[in-house]
């Protein structure tokens, strides 16, 4: 009889993945962590019963949450990642030769250690890059207290449950705004709107007092169940999310980065929201 991982994120709706082999399972200081092999998606990491990433489809999430803001900015030299313990976000940000430093703030050292050992393809050497400044700290406290400033801030958080909840508060977004340079961009993980619409609505209302332009863009990540996934977008320059495809394409071609999901056309089209998501932006 096969053992199955049954996700517990939603009540009355879920997914399950067969566990072909458990590679690591432990209750860390902050959360319950399991890494296992699955015949469809390769190695899978889950925290507190919720799938965080898989070898099979991680490229969609990581490419869209890094390349969209970095290429929209056009001159990003310093990038801050809050979370991102698997290293995939740092990997993609560091593929931009124009990026001089990536600061990554992760709460749980165990996540990084176990991903280096059991999911090395996700970081793909990022933790050895001299441009990476890896710090183990509370991301919310970090942005409140730091004197640093960044061109792009990427919030690669868990869902607003347990340790990740603080990264969805208005006080956190306000602190992120303080840490951005002029013309800077903040992007966030905002769940799957079809089943987590409240995350989009709440973030929209909590970001709007602090940024002139607040919106969302989407991508389909198979193991983030429920359809399109939403990424929050906040900046004071609305033109940065309205760049024409030829401008994005010129910047992308200059990077010489080969992607599996991201394209300039996907970048521009991702901001065209379906009506049911647009309605979430005006909900009380």
pLDDT at 145: 97
Give the residue-averaged pLDDT of 161-183: 91
Q: Are residues 39 and 70 in the same domain?
A: no
SS3 (DSSP) at 279: helix
SS3 (DSSP) at 89: helix
pLDDT at 26: 85
46: domain CATH number? 2.30.140.10
- How large a percentage of the chain has pLDDT more than 70? 99
129: domain CATH number? 3.40.50.150
Give the residue-averaged pLDDT of 128-143: 97
Q: Is residue 2 scored above 90 in pLDDT?
A: no
Q: Are residues 23 and 76 in the same domain?
A: no
pLDDT at 284: 43
Residue where the block lists tokens 């001089």: 100
Q: Are residues 95 and 46 in the same domain?
A: no
Q: Residues 227-262: pLDDT tens digits?
A: 999 999 999 999 999 999 999 999 999 999 999 999
pLDDT at 282: 81
pLDDT at 159: 77
Q: Are residues 170 and 255 in the same domain?
A: yes
Q: What is the DSSP string of 143-210?
A: HHH----EEEEEEE---SSGGGGGGGSHHHHHHHHHHEEEEEEEEEE---HHHHHHHHHHHHHHHTTT
Asked if 186 contacts 176 with a C-beta cutoff of 8 angstroms, the reply is: yes
**Rounded-to-integer distance, Cα 228 and Cα 232, Å:** 13
Asked if 156 contacts 91 with a C-beta cutoff of 8 angstroms, the reply is: no
Q: Are residues 44 and 143 in the same domain?
A: no
- The parent domain of residue 20 ranges over 3-52
Q: Are residues 271 and 190 in the same domain?
A: yes
Strand partners, 38: 42
- Does residue 129 carry a catalytic annotation? no
Q: Are residues 232 and 124 in the same domain?
A: yes
Greatest mean pLDDT range, 108-112, 192-196, 265-269: 265-269
Whose CA is closest to 34, among 66, 8, 61, 11? 8
Q: Are residues 44 and 69 in the same domain?
A: no
pLDDT at 100: 98
**Rounded-to-integer distance, Cα 172 and Cα 165, Å:** 10
Q: Are residues 104 and 206 in the same domain?
A: yes
Q: Is residue 22 scored above 80 in pLDDT?
A: yes
Q: Is residue 1 scored above 70 in pLDDT?
A: no
Q: Are residues 112 and 237 in the same domain?
A: yes
Q: What is the DSSP letter of 235?
A: E
Q: Residues 28-39: pLDDT tens digits?
A: 777 788 999 999
Q: Are residues 189 and 261 in the same domain?
A: yes
Which of 13, 34, 52 is the last residue before a domain boundary?
A: 52
Mean per-residue pLDDT of the chain: 94
H or E stretch covering 256: none
Residue where the block lists tokens 């939603």: 10
Q: Are residues 72 and 162 in the same domain?
A: yes
Number of separate domains in the chain = 2
Q: Which of 48, 86, 156, 159 is catalytic?
A: 156
């Amino acid at each position: 009889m096969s053992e199955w991982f049954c996700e517990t994120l939603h009540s009355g709706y879920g997914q399950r993945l067969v566990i072909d082999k458990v590679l690591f399972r432990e209750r860390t200081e902050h959360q319950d962590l399991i890494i296992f092999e699955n015949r469809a998606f390769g190695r899978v990491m889950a925290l507190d019963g919720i799938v965080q990433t898989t070898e099979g489809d991680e490229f969609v999430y990581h490419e869209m949450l890094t390349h969209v803001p970095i290429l929209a900015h056009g001159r990003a030299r310093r990038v801050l990642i809050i979370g991102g313990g698997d290293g995939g976000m740092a990997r993609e940000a560091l593929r931009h030769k124009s990026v001089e430093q990536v600061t990554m703030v992760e709460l749980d050292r165990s996540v990084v250690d176990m991903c280096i050992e059991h999911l090395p393809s996700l970081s793909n050497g990022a933790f050895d890059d001299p441009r990476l400044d890896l710090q183990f700290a509370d991301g919310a406290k970090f942005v409140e207290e730091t004197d640093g400033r960044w061109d792009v801030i990427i919030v690669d958080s868990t869902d607003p449950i347990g340790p990740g909840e603080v990264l969805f508060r208005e006080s956190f977004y306000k602190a992120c705004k303080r840490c951005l340079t002029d013309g800077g961009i903040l992007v966030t993980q905002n769940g799957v709107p079809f089943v987590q619409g409240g995350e989009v609505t709440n973030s929209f209302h909590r970001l709007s007092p602090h940024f002139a332009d607040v919106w969302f863009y989407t991508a389909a990540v198979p193991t983030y169940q429920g359809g399109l996934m939403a990424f929050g977008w906040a900046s004071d320059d609305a033109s940065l999310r309205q760049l024409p495809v030829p401008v994005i394409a010129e910047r992308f071609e200059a990077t010489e980065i080969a992607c599996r999901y991201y394209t300039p056309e996907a970048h521009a089209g991702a901001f065209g929201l379906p009506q049911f998501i647009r309605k979430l932006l005006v909900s009380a």
